[in-house]
A and B are shown apart, each in its own frame.
Chain A
Amino acid sequence: MNSLDTEVTPAMKAGAGMRFPVILFFSSAAFWLVFGSFLSCLAAWKLVVPSLLDGTGWLTYGRIQSAAENALVYGWASQAGIGLGLWLLARLGRTALGSEKLLITAGLFWNLGVLLGVCSIIAGAGRAIEGLEFSGAAAAILLIAYACIGIWSLILLRDRASDGLYVSQWYLLVAFLCFPWIYATANMLLIWRPVQGSAQGPIASWYSGSLFWLWLVPLTLAGVYYLVPHIARRPVRAYPSSALAFWCLTLLGGWIGTRQLIGGPVPAWMVSASVAASIIMLIPVTVICINTLGTFSGRAIPPVPEASFTVFALVCFAGVALQGAATPLLSAVTHFSDYSIAENVLAIFGFISMGLLGALHYVVPRLTGRAFPPRDATWHFWLSASGVATMFLALTFGGVIQGFALYDPGVEFMSSVTLAAPFRGIYALGTLVFLCSCLAFAAAFTRNLLGGQAPSKTPRVYPEPSEIVKA
């Protein structure tokens, strides 16, 4: 074993101080993951069997589907990312975290906001703007809760005891700075004091693009850049190029969203700019894949769950970028078809969720001192990977076929429904498999928290990536 692994560094103490807030964020994220996957599974089945649980307002497809998406984004992905981000900032900066109470209160408030938001959608008070369906009050609570988290993360960065800033810290800085800006702008202009309808389309699509590329992606990438050198036990490959990727991604992130309005009621330059940004985005994503996947090249990937999750997530990340760049080629057929849902599956489940789950598999044992049993972790990986793959492939194939039916002027609309139906059935099976994987994870996670698992054999102290980079 590498001597660095057993050397006790001050970073360890920092991690210990972060325990309760991070565990709070992770456990509530796990709850919303199960909840959101359950609702998205229910919605998928309702599309296949429309009479399933119909006739009740709060169980109608439109509300369940929006509630599922929002629970997954704000309840699961954002909270797992926030927990991970705080842990990384303390670890990398070797700062002991003060004010635990502030973060715990903020975490509770954030959950209150998500709960209120989900209830508002189910009760029929949702706002019908993609990603912004929460009622105005719920959004305000989320922002207030976020203020504490965001300010604390900046304090953590400023008061760091280590020299320099590692790439994970850059990405966390982008995420923690951009989120309040994006979320407040969108809520101000679309929910609290809506602008005229003619301007809402581009603002809403800017929001959904920015939320992904400037909030969820940087949070996940921060985890990936931290995990990869730890798993591979070597420095990140071509580390200096990660700065290029970082600036490219941050610059382009805000421009990506409007491509979903291709052909729509917006000025043509907005769509062109967004398509151009999607194509240029291949550069940073390629560099990121070389930095991360390239680090593993030439040697076997270690048989730890976080490695499988991370590699799977990165392959999906490359897929997301390729799909984005292919928009001008495919959009005539794929726009508005189930293929668009497949794109979301690849982005939100394939990259963000799998990446964050990998990080959780790594961080949780180091917080509790107890390892996940390897067999549970393997099951969890294969169930979630096959769930994501099934959902993605079914919707991609079904979406292309449905897309041709939607495109061809000689084909009736109902044919597109009939043609897509079998693929939606397979998709619904995929959501069920993914739900099982979430339940398996939640069970293992709960047992780990309650102390039902064997103590971790690996030492809880690890060298930081900055040290590995220098090594």
Chain B
Amino acid sequence: MKYAFFVGCTTLSRLPGYEKSARKVAEKLGVELLDMPGSGCCGTTYLETLDHKTGLAVAARNIAIAEEMGLDVVTICNGCTEVLTKANRELKENPKLRAEVNEVLAEAGKEFKGTVEVKHYVRMLKEDVGLDAIQEKMEKSFRGLKVASHYGCHMLKPKEILMSDDPENPTVLDDLVATTGAEPIDYPNKLECCAGPVMGVRENVTWSVGLDKVKTVKQYGDALVTACPFCYLTYERCQLMQEENPNLPVLHIPQLLGLAMGLDTDELGIGHNKVPSTVVLERLEG
């Protein structure tokens, strides 16, 4: 299994722990993730709200690189997932729009052909690798550890475009958590947005949204897992800004998977997590 790996700006520059663990876990599962030469920002979820055609073109330039590689795209950021999936679908389905966008893309020497798919890493794990194959790689167990999943919005919505999971009752992250022996838990407001996108507009709103979830999860579970750099940063940073840190460990989903696979903490960049993951590490058996 081989994919074009679209890491995304925020993980590339701020979250080595996410990228390292995503790469290591893929390697362990025999999945090859190839870098995309010349790729850049997906366009951000904001750009498309400001100018539809430009949003499509900036996203399509990246997709065109994967097309040249002859590979489907795997993303690890929900924002990139939504932006690239939306552009890919719209341009595949609307020949008139595709022609208009290709005219603009010629400026960058690229052409969108519509030959590849885009999927989030967790979807690739569940649909392409399969939960059984992941389970087989587990050498250790988080038996008894209660883990809350935060899906984030743009992995799931709008449903008719993302078509990845039920946005009202998603299961992919909980299913992955279960492969580690941990207990996936439900909690109130599980599907609430992290409000990461308004961090640059009114920071305090994001911290308030983040802290509400942290406090809720604290009552029901031992740790939170995310699959998006923005969600992760919200739940980590909102804790660091409190006088009394709630100390809820937040892990990137491949970090939890990797630990249960027996990979060591350095390989998974656990040391980069600013809320200590001690309580999680202590529960690893075997």
A and B associate in one complex: no
